[in-house]
């Protein structure tokens, strides 16, 4: 009996396991969701696309589906063109304000799991274009401010970084590129710039210029000071470094 009981238990367990597997296989709809035509609007900065609903108009805008379809159509603002690819980019150098975008995807409907599925999935959203530097239309990025944070591999070592917007007739455009511009400072802690702008203007000595998005930016001062950053609510996130010098993440809260 001592050997029979464990053997019977094993048989009973196997039967239940087989039944459970068959039960899962008999439900082809488990884990499936009906498509809704979801898509993303992104702001392109350098080689990086950041999801955004407000975008500086001198940056490209990327539109991207989140699922696969057999047929695709896009309509953007009042543009008469129709786009038919899962992803594409547009420029809006002459536009300001809010524009609608509508996406429609089609594919074979799944009537088994979703009886009301007609194979056509449409959704719409809006995005807003604002000016980065041209007066008098400038909209200041909400990134401007001071943030205290740390690299996640050393949370005890905190320091404060700054995103500043400078606007003065004193700035020589041959040095700074513009009389009004953004400047990111103290990344990493105690950073001192060796650029001509830093030598010419003491207030710029601890930072460097960046490629700006409305709520995101990219910097590449040198091999050891580069990153991709974005603001979410009051928290600044930076993916810092590269494969050559190593990668790490910086997280900071607005002060």
CATH number at 117 reads: 2.60.40
In the chain, count H helices and then E strands. 3, 17
Q: What are phi and psi of 11, to 5 degrees?
A: -65, -45
Does residue 171 belong to any structural domain of this protein? yes
Confidence tier at 25 by pLDDT (50, 70, 90): low
Lowest mean pLDDT among 23-37, 174-188, 196-210: 23-37
52 and 125 co-located in one domain: yes
Tell me what pLDDT residue 4 has: 47
| Whether the predicted pLDDT of 240 surpasses 60 | yes
188 and 239 co-located in one domain: yes
Lowest mean pLDDT among 21-25, 66-70, 95-99, 126-130: 21-25
- Of 130, 164, 184, which marks where a domain is finished? 130
Q: How far apart are CA 243 and CA 200, in angstroms?
A: 33
In this predicted model, which residue has the larger pLDDT, 46 or 22?
46
Does residue 18 belong to any structural domain of this protein? no
Length of the chain: 255
Compute CA distances 197 → 23, 75, 141, 202, 252, whole Å: 69, 44, 22, 8, 26
Tell me what pLDDT residue 51 has: 98
| Whether the predicted pLDDT of 94 surpasses 80 | yes
160 and 246 co-located in one domain: yes
Burial of 113: CB neighbours in 10 Å, binned 0-12, 13-18, 19+: middle
Domain that holds residue 89: 39-130
97 and 150 co-located in one domain: no
Closest listed residue to residue 166, CA positions, set 194, 199, 201: 201
Confidence tier at 95 by pLDDT (50, 70, 90): very high
CB 171, CB 178: distance < 8 Å:
yes
- Of 130, 161, 195, which marks where a domain is finished? 130
Report CA 4 to chain centroid distance, whole Å. Answer: 61
Torsional sign, CA 219, 221, 227, 229: negative
165 and 226 co-located in one domain: yes
| Rounded mean pLDDT, 199-227 | 96
Q: How far apart are CA 88 and CA 60, in angstroms?
A: 10
Assign 203 to helix, strand or coil: helix
Tell me the pLDDT tens digit for each residue of 55-87: 999 999 999 999 999 999 999 999 999 999 999
**pTM of the predicted structure, to 2 decimals:** 0.85
| Whether the predicted pLDDT of 8 surpasses 70 | no
Of all residues in the chain, what percent carry a pLDDT higher than 70?
90
| Residue 56 CB neighbour total at 10 angstroms | 22
Tokens of 96: 């300001």
Tell me what pLDDT residue 2 has: 47
| Rounded mean pLDDT, 113-138 | 95
| Measured CA angle at 228 (ends 224, 233), to 5 deg | 135
Q: How many domains does the chain have?
A: 2
| Whether the predicted pLDDT of 148 surpasses 60 | yes
């Amino acid at each position: 009996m001592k050997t029979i009981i464990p053997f019977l238990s094993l048989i009973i367990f196997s039967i239940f396991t087989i039944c459970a597997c068959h039960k899962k296989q008999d439900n082809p709809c488990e884990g499936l969701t009906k498509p809704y035509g979801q898509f993303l609007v992104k702001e392109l900065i350098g080689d990086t696309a950041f999801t955004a609903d407000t975008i500086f108009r001198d940056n490209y805008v990327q539109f991207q589906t989140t699922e696969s379809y057999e047929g695709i159509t896009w309509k953007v603002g009042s543009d008469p063109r129709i786009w038919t690819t899962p992803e594409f980019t547009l420029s809006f150098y002459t536009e300001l304000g809010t524009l609608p975008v509508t996406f429609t995807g089609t594919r074979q409907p799944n009537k088994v799991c979703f009886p009301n599925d007609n194979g056509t999935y449409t959704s719409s959203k809006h995005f807003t274009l604002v000016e980065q530097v041209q007066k008098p239309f400038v909209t200041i990025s909400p990134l401007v401010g001071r943030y205290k944070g740390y690299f996640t591999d050393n949370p005890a070592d905190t320091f404060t970084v700054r995103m500043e917007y400078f606007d003065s007739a004193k700035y020589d455009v041959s040095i700074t590129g513009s009389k009004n511009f953004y400047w990111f400072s103290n990344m990493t802690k105690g950073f001192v710039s060796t650029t001509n702008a830093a030598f010419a203007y003491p207030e710029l000595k601890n930072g460097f210029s960046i490629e700006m998005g409305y709520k995101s930016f990219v910097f590449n001062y040198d091999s050891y000071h580069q990153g991709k950053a974005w603001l979410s609510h009051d928290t600044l996130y930076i993916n810092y470094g590269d494969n050559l010098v190593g990668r790490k993440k910086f997280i900071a809260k607005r002060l």
